[in-house]
Structure formats: C-alpha cells, structure tokens
Amino acid sequence: MLSYILKRIGQSALVLIIVGLVAFSMFRFVGDPIDNMLGQERTMEDVERLRAQLGLDQPFPVQYFKFLSNAAQGNFGVSFRQGRPVADIIAERAPATLELAAVSAILAVGVGIALGVFTAIRRDGFMANFIMSASLIGVSLPTFLIGILLIYVFSVELGWLPSFGRGETVKIGWWTTGLLTESGLKALILPAITLGLYQMTLIMRLVRSEMLEVLRQDYIRFARARGVSERTINFRHALKNTMVPVITIIGLQLGAIIAFAIITETVFQWPGLGLLFINAIQFVDIPVMAAYLMMISLVFVLINLAVDILYAFIDPRLRVSA
C-alpha cells in the first residue's frame, strides 16, 4: 500500500518535471524572450544585461534547473504584455476560477452520478430514455453555445441574472470571494451551470454504462440467485463496483472542468485564469502561458494522485497485492 502510494507520488513528480520542460522550452525557444521584453528601442548593452539577468547565457540544463526552482518558489517571471510579475497576476485571478470550478464540479459530480445510476437501473423506462436522449444533445452542444443560450434567455430576454463579470466580491486576505454577496452569487449561477452541464452529461453517461456493465457480471447474477433484492443489488453490490472505474474518470473530468473554464470565462467575461490564458495565447505572452501550464498541471497531478489513493482504499485487490 505504502509502496503503491510512493510509486504514484514519484510518477506525479515525473509528470511535473516533464511539463516543466515543455513550459520552459516554450519560454526559451518560442520567439525570442529578449525581443519580446525589450521591444524595438534597445542597445546592445541592454540585451546583454537582460540576457545575463535572465541567465540565458548559461547552459540549457542550468537554465532549466533555475526555471524549476524559481517556479517552485512562485516566481514565473514578468508578463510580456502587462509588464507585471506573473505570480501577482495569477494570485489575483485564481480565486475566481477556483470558486467557479468548485461549484461546477459539485454540480457535475453530484447530479451526474445520481442521474447515471437512475438511468442504468431504469434502463428501459420512459424517463431514463428521455434523459439519455437529452444528454446526447448536451454532449453535442458546445459549452460556449450553452453559455450564449443561457445569457440570451436569462439575461437578455428575462433580465434575471447578469451576463458577465463576478459581481461584488469580498476580500479575505489575498483571496477575493464572490460567494458572500448577493450579486456575486447571482453572477455565479449561469457560469457554473454552463461549465458543469457538459461534464455532468459525461459523468452521467459514464456511470450508466459502467453500471450496466457491472450489472451483467456473474456475481450480480449469483446475488440474484441467492435472492438478494433488486434494491440491495443495485445500491450495495453494483454501485460500489461501478465507482471503482468511475472515480478515475471523475478525476480526469475535474481537470477538464478547470480547462473548460477557459471557454466559460470567455463567454461570461469572468475575470479568472482562463480568460488570462486565452488572452496570453492571442498575444503570445509566453511567461503567462508557461505559468498557467505549470499551475494547472500541479492541480491536475494532485487530483490524479488523490484519485489513485482513493482507488486503493476502495478496491481491496489493490490494497493487499501492492
């Protein structure tokens, strides 16, 4: 068990180092950082000074190591576009994205699992078929269209909810939250639904197909042959077995929520990391792109690590053999 977890942690660290390499290569080789930072009017001395300051005159591995150790200390350099430290910009934007993602994730996982179980148990029922058909529309509807649709109905036509921004926020230390004001909560509703809906349909469809698969297994037949009631079979025997593979995918979906936040934030002009990132891509602001990449991979890796550990607790086969 312990060796299993240590192995996972080792793999996570490896992923981070690889991602760091990608991020650093981007920083180092995509465009010339000196060009980007100094602009047209510059002297040779400026170039040399900056080159030494950034450590660009040193060998690649040394540069990479420096980049990693800087990143580990939260130092990602200066944005080409805004001229401010990237770390400051990210700290400013992160709370908005994390709050949005958390609310959407709870929505997606909670409702997704419940609907998935429902449609698997009542697989031939009218409601289940209806939900399944609706979910296909949900999967086919791009996130940005859902956002536009919601804005059109609830902001433009009905005028109930705001169509952009976070509303009023409250500062708690460096963290700004929109969860404590009425306008903040109102502003959260549409983006959270937009972001959560797509993941919810995916989770629902996944839970359904996994559960149907489990319900076909011999031990379910045998449980039935022992006279175990359908209710117990569904919610005790089948559900637990369903969750084993589902948990892995849910972990991936949580990562996807943070990525899809980019789209939602663009549609709703939500002042989070995603909006920052998309602007960075449009203006080729490499330090911001690199920092976003590092940050977000840290989050993904942590989620996956948590999932792997959780997995070991649920599945006894893993617990003993490892």
Partner 1 sequence: MSEPILSIRNLTVEIPTRHGIFKPVENVSYDIHPGEIRGVVGESGAGKSMTGNAVIGLLDPPAHISEGEVWLNGRRIDQLDPEEKRRIRGKEIGMIFQDPLTSLNPLFTIGEQLVETIQLHLDVSASEARERAIALLDRVSIPNPEVRFDQYPHQFSGGMRQRVVIALALCSEPSVIVADEPTTALDVSIQAQVLDLIKELAKERQVGVILVTHDMGVIADTTEQVTVMYSGKVVESGTTDQILGAPTHEYTRSLISAVPRPHTKIERFPQVSYGGRETVFKIEDLARNWEKPPLSTEGPLVQVQGITKKFIEAGSIIPSRRKYFTAVDDVSFDIKDGEVFGLVGESGSGKSTVARMIATLYPVDGGKVWFDGEEMTAMDAEGIARYRRQIQMIFQDPFSSLNPRMKVGDIVAEPLLHHNILDKGNVGPRVAELLDRVGLSKDAHRKYPHEFSGGQRQRISIARALATQPRFLICDEPTSALDVSIQAQILNILKDLQEHLGLTMLFISHDLPVVRQMCDRVGVMRQGKLVELQDTESLFAAPRTEYTQELLTLMPRLEQISG
Partner 2 sequence: MNDTPISDSAAPSRVRRALDSDLFYAFRRSPVAVVSTVVALLLILSAVLAPLIAPTNPFDPASLNLMNGFTPPMEPNAFTADSFLMGTDDQGRDVFSTILYGMRISLFVGFAAVMFALVLGIVLGLLSGYMGGWVDTVIMRAADVQLTFPSILVAMLIFGIAKGITPVEYRDQMAIWVLILAIGLSDWVQFARVVRGATLVEKSKDYVAAAQLIGRRPFAIMIRHILPNVLSPVLVIATISLALAIIAEATLSFLGVGAPPTQPSLGTLIRIGQGFLFSGEWWILFFPACTLLALALSVNLLGDWLRDALNPRLK
- The site for partner 1 (CB under 8 A) is made up of 217-230, 232, 236-237, 240-241, 244, 314-317, 320-321
Query: Which entry of partner 1, partner 2, none binds 95, CB below 5 to 8 A by partner kind?
Result: none
Please, which residue, 12 or 104, has the CB nearer to partner 1?
A: 12
Please, which residue, 140 or 321, has the CB nearer to partner 1?
A: 321
Please, which residue, 7 or 84, has the CB nearer to partner 1?
A: 7
Please, which residue, 233 or 294, has the CB nearer to partner 1?
A: 233
Query: Which entry of partner 1, partner 2, none binds 320, CB below 5 to 8 A by partner kind?
Result: partner 1
* Cα 34 to Cα 235: distance, rounded to the nearest angstrom: 61
Please, which residue, 70 or 248, has the CB nearer to partner 1?
A: 248
Nearest distance from C-beta of residue 35 to partner 2, angstroms: 11
**DSSP state, residue 196:** H
Nearest distance from C-beta of residue 161 to partner 1, angstroms: 43
Nearest distance from C-beta of residue 244 to partner 1, angstroms: 7
Please, which residue, 122 or 236, has the CB nearer to partner 1?
A: 236
Query: Which entry of partner 1, partner 2, none binds 237, CB below 5 to 8 A by partner kind?
Result: partner 1
Question: How many angstroms from the chain centroid is the CA of residue 173?
Answer: 24
Q: Where do contacts with partner 2 occur on this chain (CB under 8 A)?
A: 15, 18-19, 26, 30-31, 136-137, 139-145, 148, 151-152, 156, 209, 212, 216, 252, 255-256, 259-260, 262-263, 266, 277-278, 280-282, 284, 286, 289, 293, 296-297, 300-301, 304
* Cα 139 to Cα 289: distance, rounded to the nearest angstrom: 28
Residue 216: which residues within 8 A CB-CB, separation 6 or more? Answer: none
- Angstrom CA distances, 276 to 3, 144, 164, stand at 39, 17, 15
How crowded is residue 39: how many other Cβ atoms within 10 Å of its Cβ? Answer: 8
Burial (CB < 10 A; 0-12, 13-18, 19+), residue 198, is buried
Query: Which entry of partner 2, partner 1, none binds 263, CB below 5 to 8 A by partner kind?
Result: partner 2
Residue 292, both tokens: 């976003």
Q: Is the dihedral of CA 36, 37, 42, 43 positive or negative?
A: negative
Query: Which entry of partner 1, partner 2, none binds 222, CB below 5 to 8 A by partner kind?
Result: partner 1
- Angstrom CA distances, 286 to 68, 128, 136, stand at 16, 47, 37
Task: Tell which phi-psi region holds residue 41, choosing left (phi > 0), alpha (psi between -120 and 50) or beta.
Answer: beta
Query: Which entry of partner 2, partner 1, none binds 140, CB below 5 to 8 A by partner kind?
Result: partner 2
* Cα 83 to Cα 306: distance, rounded to the nearest angstrom: 36
